[in-house]
Amino acid sequence: MKRLPALVVLAAAVVLAAPIASPQSFSVELGHTTGPEQPIHFPHVKHPGALRMNCLYCHYAAEKSEVANIPAVSICIGCHKMALTDRPEIQKLTAYWNAGREPPWIHVYTLPDHVKFNHMRHVKAGLACQTCHGPVQTMQVVYRYSSLKMGWCIECHRARLKDPLYPATMDCFVCHH
Ligand code: HEC
Ligand code: HEC
Ligand code: HEC
Ligand code: HEC
Ligand code: HEC
């Protein structure tokens, strides 16, 4: 009977590993097409979408540091001091600006503390934001497009081990503290 727990764990692992057979389920969490209720309904579909703004106009740290930034209200106010000031969502934005506060945006993408990630390295290696974040320019609300599971990271790293310019690695300590 002592071996039972181990078997249960093994069986669970097999069940969990099963979706790996279909490559799509690696990167797309099916059914996950809505994001959290944000303090301001910021529509990506209008900014990088309709207005064709570059992602890096707002998320400039993504190509310069490990962590990508959420833009400060000052970046928004550059346009919304004048644009659409009669709209309720823009009035919320202006209220944050006047109070000298940032909206408490809710993160959609987060990794556990024991995992390290580095935006700059991935962006410099030529990976488009959309590879990992999906078609953000069409999203009304940003939702989690990738599973963020270890298997998802590894699938891409393994395929690029021998890349002549930007080889990825399977070293545990590159991703774990
Ligand atoms: C380059 C100028 C520019 C910047 C910078 C900008 N916006 Fe906008 N924003 C616009 C324009 C123009 C529209 C209208 C687009 C449309 O309707 O197609 C808009 C639309 C919006 C809307 C929809 C309003 C409504 O009710 O229709 C919201 C909310 C908004 N912006 C918030 C923000 C926030 C928050 C930021 C900063 C993170 C920001 N914007 C940065 C130009 C800008
Ligand atoms: C006008 C500024 C602006 C532009 C341009 C913009 N974003 Fe954003 N982005 C924001 C703001 C504000 C948030 C936080 C609110 C939200 O999640 O919608 C955000 C959130 C995100 C998030 C979720 C971050 C988290 O905390 O988990 C991702 C991913 C993202 N953006 C990717 C992109 C990509 C990819 C593009 C280009 C296709 C882009 N953004 C263009 C302002 C912008
Ligand atoms: C190789 C996959 C990958 C690529 C390419 C990528 N990201 Fe991310 N992004 C992630 C992961 C994973 C996280 C969660 C990081 C964490 O929690 O430490 C994240 C988080 C974010 C966040 C939230 C802030 C943060 O750093 O935790 C923003 C904003 C963001 N990404 C924007 C972008 C933009 C804009 C681009 C393109 C210039 C981009 N990302 C390219 C995987 C990627
Ligand atoms: C779509 C492909 C892709 C995905 C998905 C991806 N990576 Fe990477 N990653 C790469 C490539 C390519 C490099 C090599 C970049 C270079 O050589 O500068 C890299 C490099 C890294 C590095 C820097 C390695 C070093 O030597 O310092 C870390 C850390 C990393 N990845 C962590 C992650 C984590 C954690 C995830 C999942 C949350 C992930 N990656 C998902 C392609 C990917
Ligand atoms: C390319 C990045 C990457 C590499 C390389 C990598 N991991 Fe991970 N690992 C992750 C991510 C992301 C998670 C968190 C998501 C998850 O649990 O699937 C994780 C989770 C884990 C967990 C689960 C921890 C928990 O909370 O349950 C263990 C154990 C682990 N990794 C061990 C390893 C070992 C051992 C190696 C080397 C053989 C390794 N990892 C290599 C990215 C990586």
Domain ranges of the chain: 24-36+107-177
Which of 111, 142, 143 is the best mutation target for the ligand 2 pocket, counting ligand atoms within 8 Å of the beta carbon and taking the most?
142
pLDDT digits (tens, 9 = 90+) for 110-158: 999 999 999 999 999 999 999 999 999 999 999 999 999 999 999 999 9
| Class of residue 48 by CB neighbours under 10 A (exposed 0-12, middle 13-18, buried 19+) | buried
Residue with the smallest CA separation from ligand 5 atom 19 is 150
SS3 sequence of 135-168:
CHHHCCCCCCCCCCCHHHHHHHHHHCCCCCCCCC
Q: Structure pTM?
A: 0.91
Rg (CA), the chain: 20
Number of Cβ atoms within 10 Å of the Cβ of 165:
8
Q: How close is the Cα of 3 to the center of ligand 2, in Å?
A: 48
pLDDT of residue 34: 83
Nearest CA to ligand 3 atom 23: 68
First CA to last CA distance, the chain: 36
Residue 171 CA to ligand 4 centre (angstroms): 11
Q: Which ligand neighbours the alpha carbon of 114 most closely?
A: 5
